[in-house]
Structure 1
Amino acid sequence: MTQPPNEPPQGGFGEPQDQPPADPFGKQPAPQTPPPAGGFGAPQPPPAGGFGAPQPPPAGGFGAPQSPPPTGPPQQQPGYGYPQAPPQQPGYGYPQAPPQQPGYGFPQAPPGGGYGMPPGQPPQQGYGYPTAPMQPQYPAPPQGGNGGRKLSTQTQIIIAAVVAVALIVGGGVWFASSGGEGGKKNETSDSTGTTGDSKGGSDNGAGGGGKEKAPANTKSTVAFRIAEPKVPDVTQLDGSWLTDKAYVKTGVNEIVGYDKVKGTKLWSIPLDGQLCAASRHMSKDYKTAIAFQQAKPTKTNKYPPCTQVGALDLSAGKLMWSKSVTAGTGGDDAIRFDEITLSGTTVAAGGTEGGAAFDLNTGAERWKPKVTADGCYDMGYGGGEALAVVRRCGTYDDPQLVIQALNPTTGAPLSSFKMPPGVEYASIVSTKPLVVAADVGDTAGDGSGISDFFSIDASTGKLLTKITADGDKYAARCGSTEVETCQQLAVGNNRLYLPTEEHEGTGEYGDTNEIVSFDLTTGKPTSDKADAGDRYTMFPIRMDGPNIIAYKEPPYDKGGQIVSIDGSTFKQTVLLENPAEESVRDAETSFSADYAEFLFSGGRLFISETMASKRGDSSLDANRYLVVSFGTG
């Protein structure tokens, strides 16, 4: 009854294989038998065109009937979704017509295949997680720590002190958890039940207007703790949402609703298999979408394929519908999906075999994977207030990524922007405004998946600006091979809000950092700066109207905080401060930055895991939590 973090390698459409999955923040495609020449996903050279120039959408709506794929060389006309090359358009990076500049990014030879590569390509090492084929064992995510960051001065001092004490007492084993940071998941309405998107609010007026207000007493208490389920192997537990009454969290082969004040179980939605993808967005009436395995694991089929798409009514606590979809070429094999999102009433699921979309309320198909002669396919989608796609074209050795704004109902492209050479994967940070992150030429160097942000005019496909985010300076992260997994950042007020990396503070011990912003029209840094304060570090969780909701990770002797940062003045207001009691602090800081989901609404903070692993005999495994909740009232 386990679910690996991702889908296993596959031989064909829907054919289950006894192979392990990949990291939930770095999904990889499985090696597949190469398709017939010219078939769906066959590598083809991209058509010529001005690099980065605004592109008109192809003729015809998405989903129009298409001719069967050729068996020989590709047709001269590019298939659906591939940007066309208008005559006399300037190259990449020219929103208007500035003086000629050299092309951005040098084409790189991909180290391997992976999620987003045409079927038939070998997999690539996943983001932050081992993915060796035929390797059934996976390490558990780190408990505590800063998600792979450098050890802070404070942490080094603590470790040194622990070692010294251990020597004195004669070899006793001591442990100190330094905490984790990460802000993840939250619109159409977001998973907190508010209307600001954690990754892409479109509020234009800064200052005031946020829904979150400071209570008379900001000191919180532990509302409830939910023990991590015992599992025999690594099990994916992505997905947490807040309604007006319930905190909803993924369990083992089920979705569970808890009373958001008491933590008592309200209802459970059983699933045929383990969840493998969850939308971070909800509709305003608390409906969302998931993808899950078609069956529970067995001895002969340890990793059932992730072929089921479903819609959840989180108010009623029921599965509204679930279904699979076959490939556009026909046949009975169900398509496998790696990720899922929601925009309006459109559920969009993506994977290496292409994308499909469904009506949220009825489950009716709106579009599904199509065969194109040029090897183009939808890698994945970004949802929320609008819908956008990362589409991959070209060959294995010379891929071309295209960012398209889509009509959510028909899937027809509204605009197209070609990413620069050297970009193998891209992440959609926000759909309104349209902001994309990428590691251009693998230059980030810090495992964050981000070297640059691209602010794009969704109506024309023009690049507004490129923001370089030096990995040594900024601490946001995106899954390197997934389209909608960015965290520890926020978009609002036509600005991109990023945390800086930790650095020494003014105090004798401990590191600190700041939240800063960039203008999405000019790309220039603004004067905005919110200091975490001595021995605290912080990062954005989501937008609250024009304000930024941020989590402050505590030092070793204090509790964490939730603060609201005024979008105009950048003045901080404490909304919640957790207890400094050691046992409470240990529970709070046991969650790792890169594997935890942080939700805050109405004076209540929920921190949860995104995967569970087999427990050992250590005392450290005795008290492992799936969820810890704090409240001020």
Structure 2
Amino acid sequence: MTQPPPPPPPPNQPPNQPPNQPPPGFGAPQDPPPGQGGFGAPQPPEGPAGPEGPAGPGGFGAPAPSPQGGQPGYGYPQQGPPPGYGYPQGAQPGYGQPQGPPPGYGHPQGAQPGYGAPQQPYGYGGYGQPPTQPMQAGPGQKGPGGGKKSATTRIVIAAVCAVALIVGGGVWYAATTGDDDKAGSSAGQSTGGGEQGGDGGDKSKGGDGAGKGEPAADGPGKEKAPADPTARTAFQHPEPKVEDITFLRGSWVSGKTFVKPGLNSVVGFDAESGATSWTLKLPGQVCASSRHQSDDGKAAIVFEAAKRTGPRFYQPCTEVGVVDLTSGKLLWSESVTGGTGGDGKIKFAEVTQSGDVVAAGGLEGGAAFDLDSGKVRWKPNSADTCTDRGYGGGAALVAVRRCGSISSPHIVIQALDTKDGRPLFSYKMPETVEYASIVSAKPLVVAADVGDTAGVAGFSDLFSLDDKGALRARIPATGDLYEAKCRTTEVENCRKIAVGNGRVYLPTSARESSSGFKDTNEIVSFDLATGKPTSDRTEAGARHLLLPLRMDGGNLIAYRTAAYDTGGQVISIDGGTFEQTVLMKNPGDKKSSTVERSFTADGDDMRYDGGRLFLSAGLVSEDSYSERQLVVAYATG
């Protein structure tokens, strides 16, 4: 795949900005999500870099010291945090603009409470002020909006608005939710997510419009509810000691091994005890990892060719490799040159895999390798007029390509033949789309910001395409209605969204519950063939959010966030009936829930497999919260 010259760097770029790095962000500045951890921002190292911290078990260091606060300034390397992990509030950062660390990573910033945390009376402060009451018109006063409207006029306007919301997919669920005191109470009695965190049984119906009982289109799931879903903390490991902000995103579960990138390494842990099974030493830091793995336990990574040194703490991400998740061996590693890079190595920002191919992409173009041998199947070519920005993998391989001139580019979605990269079909996105993300490669669902209207989610619309590249449906999904997130400059990065049964499942944004705060939501779905909302709807219950993790056959695996006095839960939602089944209930004591609430589904990894839940950090910093953990594992039985 050949590449046109990349756009010139913007003016006034800081001297230590890593080259050819995409701009950060989920699409627009946002406040920290309510209760997603939120312990504050790490600060940059002061002065020259010191010696590396002592290595801990399996190559991980000791817990970091207590935080001092502060924000990175100009010149602080943007390789950490990675694109999309946070930025200064109040302005979307551009190329070279310094960015703050992400909210919700367990770093102190005024002790932002988690979902369901007690508010002002308990001394937390900040988030959780009671919502402002709407202005009421007194005698002789006009209400908001000016003049007095007749009852008939108000009824007509309300009806028109309701129809518009239903057609647009927006907050159609609001009309059926009713008083959340009832919704929260119902959820608390039957799903384990209510006011008191009670369990009240393992299964519950969804909303009034839940499924009609037909079997899920994609068949039964493999995850089964244990006799007792009560979970224990199986093991935990502290964050390693670092001198900068270090990217550690990615994890895999392979048989009896949980695998996680570490400092210049990849480490395998025994999934039951947490003991180190193996440590793979690397010449540099892992900077991207595939969210997929092969059936025989192989996973792709991108890593740096040398260790980072101060004061920049940056090395280019040029090496692509495959790790055997069972043995811990690096099966091969390769780099490529070409395109606009000339003799220099191509730098990659992300990697994925599909079948027997590994594909890595970035601003300098994309390349693909044989999964078993590492043989290059294609790489950037300076004669090409399009650039492969990245790929979506899994059941198929799909490329997001940027074509046309620098001044008038357009985005094309292409399904690829994995043998040589030949396009099987192409779909041109609307002209106002600058970035696109692959939510699912098969069925093909693309998220995109159309006309710079995405808001905090990073996407404004979902595009459902058929197996020939024709548009099936376009689903409006504006950023203030749903909790799902896609980083605008990465292709396979969307979180808190799932595709299955011919539907896309989305969590609604937090809304006010009977607690008086915005601390509950629902999961709803849209039909990929028509784009219309379905009758699927299931509630989180007051003081919790319900977030999709992945599909399990035709069932949806979801995570119910922890509150200050209850642990999180893993839920299986039947794809046919939309009934909830509790698979796991985590410890609810204060210490355990504090640790659990320091992880966020926006940037950390959440893996559930066979009765075990693994929460692991997406990045670490020099001044991490002292109780912040690199990985925490929960197990039932």
CA distance in 2, matches of 1:138, 1:550: 29
1:313 to 321, 324, 337: 324
Corresponding position: 1:475 with 2:483: yes
Corresponding position: 1:534 with 2:542: yes
Q: Which residue of 2 aligns with 1:441?
A: 451
2:308 to 277, 282, 297: 297
1:428 to 438, 458, 462: 438
Report 1:455-604 matches (<5 A): 455-458=464-467, 460-506=468-514, 511-604=519-612
Q: Which residue of 1 aligns with 2:397?
A: 387
- Segment of structure 1 superposing worse, 135-144 or 460-469: 135-144
1:405 to 402, 410, 415: 415
Q: Which residue of 1 aligns with 2:335?
A: 324
CA distance in 2, matches of 1:407, 1:293: 29
Report 1:228-243 matches (<5 A): 228-243=239-254
Secondary structure of 1:516 counterpart: strand
Q: CA deviation at 1:10?
A: 10
Q: CA deviation at 1:139?
A: 3.2
CA distance in 1, matches of 2:580, 2:469: 36
CA distance in 1, matches of 2:341, 2:124: 63
CA distance in 2, matches of 1:10, 1:424: 16
CA distance in 2, matches of 1:135, 1:489: 29
Q: Is the 8 A contact 1:18 1:302 kept in 2?
A: no
Q: Which residue of 1 aligns with 2:50?
A: none
Letter of the aligned partner of 2:119 in structure 1? I
Q: CA deviation at 1:140?
A: 5.6
Q: CA deviation at 1:555?
A: 2.3
Q: Which residue of 1 aligns with 2:151?
A: none
Corresponding position: 1:158 with 2:166: no
CA distance in 1, matches of 2:341, 2:105: 45
Q: Is the 8 A contact 1:349 1:381 kept in 2?
A: yes
Q: How many residues align?
A: 476
Q: Mark the CA change 1:23 to 1:216 in structure 2 (over 3 Å): closer, same or farther.
A: farther
Q: Is the 8 A contact 2:457 2:482 kept in 1?
A: no
TM-score of the aligned structures, taking structure 1 as reference length: 0.71
Secondary structure of 1:527 counterpart: strand
Q: Which residue of 1 aligns with 2:87?
A: 129
Deviation string 1:437-496 (CA, Å, 9 cap, x unpaired) is 011111122x211100000113x2211110001322211100111000000010000100
Q: CA deviation at 1:556?
A: 1.9
Q: Which residue of 2 aligns with 1:626?
A: 630
- Segment of structure 1 superposing worse, 302-311 or 271-280: 302-311
CA distance in 1, matches of 2:220, 2:113: 38
CA distance in 2, matches of 1:164, 1:316: 48
Q: CA deviation at 1:151?
A: 9.2
Q: Is the 8 A contact 1:20 1:135 kept in 2?
A: no
Q: Mark the CA change 1:372 to 1:332 in structure 2 (over 3 Å): closer, same or farther.
A: closer
Secondary structure of 1:479 counterpart: coil
Q: Which residue of 2 aligns with 1:184?
A: none
Q: CA deviation at 1:409?
A: 1.5
Q: Mark the CA change 1:242 to 1:535 in structure 2 (over 3 Å): closer, same or farther.
A: same
Q: Which residue of 2 aligns with 1:180?
A: none
Q: Which residue of 2 aligns with 1:51?
A: none
Secondary structure of 2:457 counterpart: coil
Structure 2: which 5+ residue stretches go unaligned? 1-6, 10-14, 28-81, 127-214
Deviation string 1:293-329 (CA, Å, 9 cap, x unpaired) is 1111234863111110001110111100111111157
Letter of the aligned partner of 1:535 in structure 2? R
Report 1:30-49 matches (<5 A): none
CA-atom RMSD in angstroms: 2.9
Corresponding position: 1:452 with 2:461: yes
Q: Is the 8 A contact 1:239 1:250 kept in 2?
A: yes
Q: Mark the CA change 1:397 to 1:318 in structure 2 (over 3 Å): closer, same or farther.
A: same
Q: Mark the CA change 1:208 to 1:369 in structure 2 (over 3 Å): closer, same or farther.
A: closer
CA distance in 2, matches of 1:303, 1:507: 46
1:220 to 227, 231, 243: 231
CA distance in 2, matches of 1:255, 1:605: 19
Secondary structure of 1:594 counterpart: coil
2:104 to 133, 142, 146: 142
TM-score of the aligned structures, taking structure 2 as reference length: 0.70
Deviation string 1:485-517 (CA, Å, 9 cap, x unpaired) is 000010000100000011122456662111010
CA distance in 1, matches of 2:308, 2:289: 19
Deviation string 1:50-69 (CA, Å, 9 cap, x unpaired) is xxxxxxxxxxxxxxxxxxxx
Q: Mark the CA change 1:163 to 1:468 in structure 2 (over 3 Å): closer, same or farther.
A: closer
Deviation string 1:537-574 (CA, Å, 9 cap, x unpaired) is 11110000000000001222111100100000000000
Structure 1: which 5+ residue stretches go unaligned? 1-8, 12-16, 29-123, 166-203
Q: Mark the CA change 1:556 to 1:301 in structure 2 (over 3 Å): closer, same or farther.
A: closer
CA distance in 2, matches of 1:469, 1:329: 36
Q: Mark the CA change 1:216 to 1:355 in structure 2 (over 3 Å): closer, same or farther.
A: same
Letter of the aligned partner of 1:19 in structure 2? Q
2:17 to 16, 19, 28: 19
Q: Is the 8 A contact 1:393 1:399 kept in 2?
A: yes
